[in-house]
Amino acid sequence: MKHSGLSQKIALVTGAGQGIGQAVAKRIADEGAIIAAVDANEDQLQSTVQQMKDEGIRAFAYPGDITDQASVQHIVDQVEKQLGPIYLLVNVAGILRISSIDQLRADDWQQTFAVNTHGVFYVSQAVSKYMMKRSEGVIVTVSSNAGAIPRMNMAAYAASKAAATSFTKTLGLELADYGIRCNVVSPGSTATPMQWALWSDEQGADHVIKGSLETYKTGIPLQKIADPQNIADAVIFFASEQSSHITMQNLTIDGGATLGI
């Protein structure tokens, strides 16, 4: 029996084509929600949505670039018109550019912020304006534990995620008067294509779990990499009636990697 209160509600999920976004979209669908799936990679998005439809899920693809404010507004308007009122927004779309600061290219810095920070702002603003009219809705931003602790060679990613986290909390403060809750889920290392791309060999997971004194990483106390489902479950909690009196919070899911910071 489902207790989230999401049955037949419209949920817009960015970055839904793969990884955490895909897991989140499917998990929300398990609760009976209708999914508006957004991703810049149209092929991956269409494949994911078709898989969901084959499983009997009401899911719809909305290809688009969240770094383009006009495109974002068009997508949100279309979802509201075609599917109905958006009750849940989950900001998942993100990119990672690895480089030491002295070698970091300006366009990598700008693109990272364009997706991870500006995109969160554009989508959240467009959706929240509709939510405010109805005095109803939930927004969850999937950020990163890197937003709370320095990570070598991840300056752009960490800074952009810290900004997205702070933005979402401020959004929650401003929308509280409308009964709209805004929370953050901050994953650590998770089994996704983004994580796998960082590994140089088949021992990649072991290296992450063990940590590295050279790069000041403590490793993962729980001795395992997160599964995307772990992150999706946290999103469901924040989206559900079980968290009806929780807003402006950041739940870190990293197996203890950031030692509770």
Who wins on pLDDT, 199 or 230? 230
Evaluate if residue 206 carries a pLDDT over 90. Answer: no
Overall average pLDDT of the 204-208 stretch: 80
**pLDDT of 2:** 60
CATH class of the domain defined by 10-191+226-253: alpha beta
Question: Is 122 a catalytic site residue?
Answer: no
Q: Quick: pLDDT tens for 38-62.
A: 999 999 999 999 999 999 999 999 9
Strand partners for 31? none
**pLDDT of 199:** 65
- Which positions ≥6 away from 205 have C-beta within 8 Å? 191, 199, 225
Strands ordered across the beta sheet of 59-63:
59-63, 34-39, 10-14, 86-91, 138-142, 181-187, 250-253
**pLDDT of 4:** 85
Question: 1 pLDDT band (50/70/90 cuts)?
Answer: very low
Of 62, 87, 157, 178, the catalytic one is 157
**pLDDT of 193:** 74
Q: Quick: pLDDT tens for 82-120.
A: 999 999 999 999 999 999 999 999 999 999 999 999 999
- Which positions ≥6 away from 96 have C-beta within 8 Å? 112, 154, 157, 194, 197, 198
Q: Quick: pLDDT tens for 147-196.
A: 999 999 999 999 999 999 999 999 999 999 999 999 999 999 898 877 76
Q: How far does CA 116 lie from the centroid of its chain?
A: 9
∠ CA 195-230-63 to the nearest 5 degrees?
Answer: 65
Instruction: Answer yes or no: are the C-beta atoms of 168 and 143 closer than 8 Å.
Output: yes
Q: Name residue 93's amino acid.
A: A
Helix (H, G, I), strand (E, B) or coil at 65: coil
Domain ranges across the chain: 10-191+226-253
Q: Quick: pLDDT tens for 4-32.
A: 899 999 999 999 999 999 999 999 999 99
Element (H or E) spanning 224, and its range? none
* Six-digit token string for 186: 């901050």
